[in-house]
Structure 1
Amino acid sequence: MDKAEVDERLAADSYPITELPLCQLRLMNDTRYPWLLLIPRRRGVSEVFDLDEADQQQLWREASRIGRAFKAMIGADKLNLASLGNVVPQLHVHLVLRREGDAAWPGPVWGQGSPRPYDLDELAAMRDRVLALVEGLALEAQES
C-alpha cells in the first residue's frame, strides 16, 4: 500500500484511532459533535474518483459500516457524511453525528462556534468506544 502522510491540518485537529484496510480512522477534537474522519492511505488523492474502483468500494464499505455502527452507538438522529476538501485537499471523509437541537442544528457544523476539545479522560473513553465498535465490524478489503 502506498501510504500517504496525514495532512498537518487534519493531524492537528484530530486524534488517530486505528488503521482500517484502506483508511486511517481519526477522531475530530470537538466534543460538541461525535465526529470521525476516514483518510485513505493513498498519495496524491484529492477526489474519490482519484481512487481505483476497488479502493472506491472499500472507502464506501468503511464509511457505511462505521457510520451505521457509530450512529447506533451514540444514538444520533442523523449521520452527515461529507468530503469537502476546500481547505485540506487530501481526500478525507467526515462522519459527523447530529442530534436535533445540537449547537448547529439543522445547519452544517463547519464554522459554528468554537470547538470544545476533549480532555484526556474523554478522549480515552471515546477512543476505547470507537475501537470496540470497529473490532466488531467486518471491514476487510475485497480481493480483486
Structure 2
Amino acid sequence: MTNCVLCKDNLKPEEGKLIWRGDDCRVILVNHPDLPGFCRVIWHRHVAEMTDLSYGEREHIMTLVFAVEAAIRHVMHPDKVNIAALGNMVPHIHWHVIPRFKDDACFPGSAWSTRTQEPKESAIEVRRKKTQELPAAIKAAIANLA
C-alpha cells in the first residue's frame, strides 16, 4: 500500500525513534508529549488483520508486545499498561503499548480520549527521563526471548 505511515522505515524525530528491528517487526518509541514511554510494535508487511497472519506469526508479534510491556513496566513503573490494536485510521497491524499513570492527561480514559486533567510538567519530565532507559530494556527483553 502506498502512503501508509507504518510501512515507512524512516521516521522524523517528531514521529518517534526506532528501538529494535527484526525480520518481521520493529519497535518504535513514539514521541507523544503527554505519554512518555508509548511504544508501537509494527508488523513490517502491510497486513490489515491479525487473522491474515499465520498462527506462528501471531504468536511472534504478541511475544514481542509482551516483551515491550514487561520492559515498560520495569523501567516506567506505570499504574497500568494499555495494549491496543485498533487499525481504524491505519489498517496495518500494529500494537500500541502505553504506560498509563493516574495523573496523565486522559486517565482513566484511553490515550485517545478527551483530556480530563492537566498533568504536572515535573511528573511528565521524570517520565521522559525514564524513557531514555527504555531502548536498552526493550532490546534486553527481546534478546531474552531467544
Q: TM-score, normalised by structure 2?
A: 0.73
Cα RMSD after superposing both structures: 2.7
Letter in 2 for 1:66: V
- Asked whether 1:47 is paired with 2:44, we answer no
* Cα-to-partner distance string for 1:84-107 (whole Å, 9 max, x where unaligned): 011111111000110112110100
- Asked whether 1:139 is paired with 2:142, we answer no
Contact 1:83 1:92 (C-alpha < 8 Å) held by counterparts: yes
Alignment partner of 1:136: what SS?
Answer: helix
Letter in 1 for 2:45: R
Within a 5 Å distance, the mapping from 1:23-38 to structure 2 comes to 23-33=25-35, 34-38=37-41
Residues 6 and 111 of structure 1: CA distance in aligned 2, closer, same or farther (over 3 Å): farther
Q: Which ranges of structure 2 fall in alignment gaps of 5 or more residues?
A: 116-127
Contact 2:16 2:28 (C-alpha < 8 Å) held by counterparts: yes
Contact 1:20 1:139 (C-alpha < 8 Å) held by counterparts: no
Residues 105 and 63 of structure 1: CA distance in aligned 2, closer, same or farther (over 3 Å): same
Q: Which ranges of structure 1 fall in alignment gaps of 5 or more residues?
A: 114-121
Amino-acid identity (%)? 24
Alignment partner of 1:85: what SS?
Answer: coil
Within a 5 Å distance, the mapping from 1:52-131 to structure 2 comes to 52-112=54-114, 126=131, 128-131=132-135
Q: 1:42: Cα distance to partner?
A: 1.9
Q: 1:9: Cα distance to partner?
A: 6.5
Contact 1:21 1:139 (C-alpha < 8 Å) held by counterparts: no
Residues 89 and 105 of structure 1: CA distance in aligned 2, closer, same or farther (over 3 Å): same
Relative CO higher for 1 or 2, CA cutoff 8 Å, sep ≥ 6? 1
Query: Equivalent of 2:4, from 4, 7, 12?
Result: 7
Q: 1:23: Cα distance to partner?
A: 1.3
Letter in 1 for 2:79: D
Runs of 4+ residues over 4 Å off in structure 1: 9-12
| Alignment length (residue pairs) | 126
